Each structure stands twice: as structure tokens, then as C-alpha cells.
């Protein structure tokens, strides 16, 4: 369970704030900001970071958060940021406080089971809901901040190319139900760009991948979720493959810092935010996680477990060189990040 009053969360947010000057953060002063998906990992951290920055620099930010389960979001957030720091709104009722100066749209299902079994709901959230939110921005000046995914890059055209920049695009099969997620994210990105072209509103799109940290949903079928779920429960880690596939896991505080850098120092467009400087095999990650558990063991299957829930292709490793040119750097290596997550859950058990 995510409890933002833990020492680990406070440490993370303090590290994020150290990346910025008072002059930079004055951009947010007095602004009305909506965050969707406040019960999710990214939404929770954004709300916590903006609240702390507002207090630290006397920014007087007006925070609003929407969620499909406002009761759960309230329990997750208000212990840390206070009952009066953020006003929670039911999903679909965001228009009651329009217009907004900033909308951070983090809401989207990433659960593999939901992606495969309720694909129309996934499309509706990524496309229909995004279209509704764009209409809630302050005319011409309201900024839309969208959280996209590595999956929009599709299957690599060049299988030998490891690192993927914002200009690279691959292939998606529109007749594969699993494509509902990346195809709808792609369309949402184009809607945001088109809204800018037609109405002039600024925007940023952040393509993230394999993000983890305190508050990650445990054991939901995603590889990091399952590994971390086993770790914090002091269980053996059961992999679904031989563990040879390599990814770039990125700690949530680094992601939030990268997002704020893109907003405050960047320009309209998209940015990859992923720790491409640290590549680990799934087996490596599992072994590091298991090292936090007394007598922890990693178990690999005798043969890979095939499922329609998972991607059938390699999207490549996201290169974050573009946002790094704006003076952003990775701060939390995997071993430290997994230790923070383990300590967080044990402190609050």
C-alpha cells in the first residue's frame, strides 16, 4: 500500500525539488492544476511533488486530482499532503472546476489482463477521455501534459537497433487486440498535437517505460510489478521466461524530475524519460530484488510461459538524450531503487 508519509517518499520528493531553482518553479505560481489518475504511482508522485514545491517556494498552486476511486485516492494522498492541499474529483466530473492552467494526464490502464480483456475501455480512456480533458484547458494558455508509453514505437523496423529516439517508429498490428493500448496512445498523442495546431495550447508528451517505486501496483502481471511484489512479500521470485530480455528500469523520482525538466526547460513536443544508461536483464533485476530478501531465490520456468497478455515484439530501449540535454540526469540506480521500495513497504507494513 502506498503511504506518502513514509521517509522514502519524503526523500524522493526532496531529491526532485533539488533539480530546480525558484525562478524556474515560478512558472507554476498561482496555477490551477488537474492531475488525473491520482491513485496510480505516477499521479501520486506528481501530486506529492507539486504540493511540496508549492509549500517550499510559496507558489500557491491549486491542486485538483481525479480518480475512479476517490476514497482510495484520498486515503493514499491526504496523510502526506493534508486534507486541504488537493481537492479530489470523481472520474468524469473534472469539468466542474474548469478551466485548468495545467492538466497532467496520467490515467490509463497498464494491467496486462485489462489490456487483453477490456480493450474498448482502454481505448476510451486513452482517446475519448483525453479529448474531453483537452476542452477543459484555459483558452490558448492551458498546458496539457500527457504520459505515453514506449509501446507506441511498435515493433522495430531495424531489429539491430537497440536505442530508440523520439523520431523512430515501428509497426503495430491493428488486428491484434493487444494493440488497443499502443494504438490508442498513438492517437491520443496526435489529438494533443492537433489541438495545439488548431487552438494554440502548449503541450508536452512523455514516453516512459518500466517505471517503478513505492506505490507500484504489486503482482498485476507486469514484470517489475511481479518481481517487486514477491520481494516485498519476502517470497521466491518466479519468472515467466528465462530472464534474458533486457530493459531499462527507471525509478519514479527520476521520472518525475525528467517530466518537470521537460515542462520547465523544454518546448512543445515529446520526450523519452527512461534510464537508458542502466540496462539489466530480467534475471539480473530478479537477482538484485532477491538480495533484499533473506534466503531469496529466483526460479526460472523450464520453458517460457506464452500468453496473449504480453507484447510479442521488442520495442527497443528508449534513449533519453533529448531530455538530458535540458540538464536532467538519472539519480537512482536500480539497486538503490529496489532497496528504497523494500524499505518503504517494510516501514509501513
CATH of the domain at 200: 3.40.50.720
Neighbouring residues of 270: CB distance < 8 A, sequence distance ≥ 6: 148, 166, 189, 204, 205, 206, 207
99-119 burial code (b ≥16 CB/10 A, e <16): ebbbbbbbbbbbbbebbbeeb
- Is there a contact between 59 and 53 (Cβ–Cβ < 8 Å)? yes
Predicted pLDDT at 2? 44
pLDDT (0 to 100) of residue 315: 73
CB 18 within 8 A of CB 48: no
pLDDT in tens, 271-306: 999 999 999 999 999 999 999 888 889 998 876 665
CA distance 67 to 82: 17
Half-sphere exposure of 311 (CA within 13 A, CB side): 20
Burial of 202 (0-12, 13-18, 19+ CB in 10 A): middle
Q: Is residue 142 part of a domain?
A: yes
Residue 338 domain flag: no
> Within a domain: residue 79?
yes
291 in a domain, yes or no? no
| pLDDT one-digit tens code per residue, 42-88 | 999 999 999 989 999 999 999 999 998 888 788 778 766 766 788 99
User: Strand locations in the chain, DSSP E?
Assistant: 32-36, 62-67, 86-90, 102-105, 143-149, 163-164, 203-208, 211-212, 237-238, 246-247, 250-251, 269-273, 280-281, 298-299, 317-318
pLDDT < 70: residue spans in the chain: 1-6, 79-80, 82-83, 303-313, 348-349
Q: How many domains does the chain have?
A: 1
Q: Does residue 305 sit within a domain?
A: no
Quote the CA–CA distance of 54 and 35 in Å, as a whole number. 15
Distance from CA of residue 100 to its chain's centroid? 21
Q: How far apart are CA 210 and CA 346, in angstroms?
A: 22
Q: Please state, in angstroms and as integers, the Cα–Cα distance from residue 311 to each residue in 83, 96, 306, 324, 347, following that order.
A: 41, 38, 10, 28, 35
Q: Which domain holds residue 93?
A: 7-211+250-274+313-331
Contact 20, 259 (CB under 8 A): no
157 in a domain, yes or no? yes
Residue 160 lies in a domain: yes
Residue 218 lies in a domain: no
CB 207 within 8 A of CB 318: yes
Q: What is the pLDDT of residue 26?
A: 96
Q: What are the C-alpha distances in Å from 39 to residues 2, 44, 106, 220, 229?
A: 9, 6, 10, 15, 18
Angle, alpha carbons 57-62-63 (nearest 5°):
105
Sequence-separated (6 or more) residues with CB below 8 Å from residue 17: 49, 52, 53, 56
Amino acid at each position: 500500500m502506498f503511504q506518502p508519509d513514509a521517509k522514502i517518499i519524503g526523500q524522493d520528493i526532496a531529491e526532485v525539488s533539488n533539480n530546480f531553482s525558484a525562478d524556474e518553479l515560478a512558472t507554476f505560481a498561482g496555477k490551477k492544476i488537474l492531475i488525473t489518475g491520482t491513485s496510480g504511482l505516477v499521479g501520486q508522485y506528481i501530486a506529492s511533488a507539486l504540493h511540496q514545491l508549492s509549500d517550499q517556494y510559496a507558489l500557491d498552486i491549486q491542486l485538483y486530482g481525479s480518480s475512479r476511486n476517490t476514497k482510495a485516492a484520498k486515503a493514499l494522498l491526504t496523510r502526506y499532503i493534508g486534507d486541504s492541499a488537493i481537492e479530489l474529483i470523481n472520474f468524469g466530473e473534472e469539468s466542474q472546476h474548469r478551466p485548468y492552467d495545467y492538466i497532467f494526464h496520467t490515467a490509463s490502464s497498464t494491467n496486462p489482463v485489462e489490456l487483453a480483456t477490456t480493450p474498448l475501455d482502454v481505448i476510451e480512456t486513452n482517446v475519448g477521455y483525453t479529448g474531453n480533458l483537452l476542452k477543459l484547458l484555459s483558452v490558448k494558455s492551458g498546458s496539457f501534459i500527457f504520459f505515453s508509453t514506449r509501446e507506441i514505437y511498435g515493433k522495430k523496423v531495424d531489429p539491430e537497433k537497440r536505442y530508440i529516439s523520439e523520431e523512430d517508429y515501428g509497426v503495430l498490428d491493428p488486428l491484434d487486440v493487444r494493440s488497443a493500448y499502443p494504438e490508442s496512445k498513438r492517437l491520443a498523442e496526435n489529438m494533443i498535437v492537433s489541438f495545439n495546431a488548431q487552438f494554440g495550447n502548449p503541450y508536452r508528451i512523455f514516453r516512459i517505460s518500466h517505471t517503478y517505486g513505492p506505490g507500484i501496483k504489486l503482482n498485476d502481471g507486469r514484470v517489475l510489478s511481479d518481481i517487486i511484489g514477491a520481494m516485498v512479500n519476502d517470497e521466491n521470485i518466479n519468472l515467466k521466461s528465462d530472464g534474458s530480455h533486457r530493459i531499462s528500469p527507471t525509478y519514479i523520482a527520476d521520472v518525475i524530475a525528467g517530466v518537470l525538466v521537460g515542462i520547465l526547460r523544454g518546448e512543445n513536443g515529446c520526450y523519452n524519460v527512461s534510464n537508458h544508461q542502466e540496462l539489466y536483464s530480467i534475471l539480473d533485476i530478479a537477482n538484485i530484488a532477491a538480495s533484499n530478501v533473506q534466503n531469496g531465490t529466483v526460479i526460472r520456468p523450464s520453458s517460457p510461459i506464452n500468453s496473449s497478455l504480453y507484447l510479442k515484439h521488442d520495442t527497443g530501449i528508449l534513449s533519453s538524450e533529448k531530455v538530458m540535454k535540458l540538464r536532467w540526469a538519472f539519480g537512482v540506480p536500480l539497486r538503490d531503487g529496489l532497496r528504497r521500495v523494500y524499505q518503504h513497504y517494510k516501514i509501513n507494513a
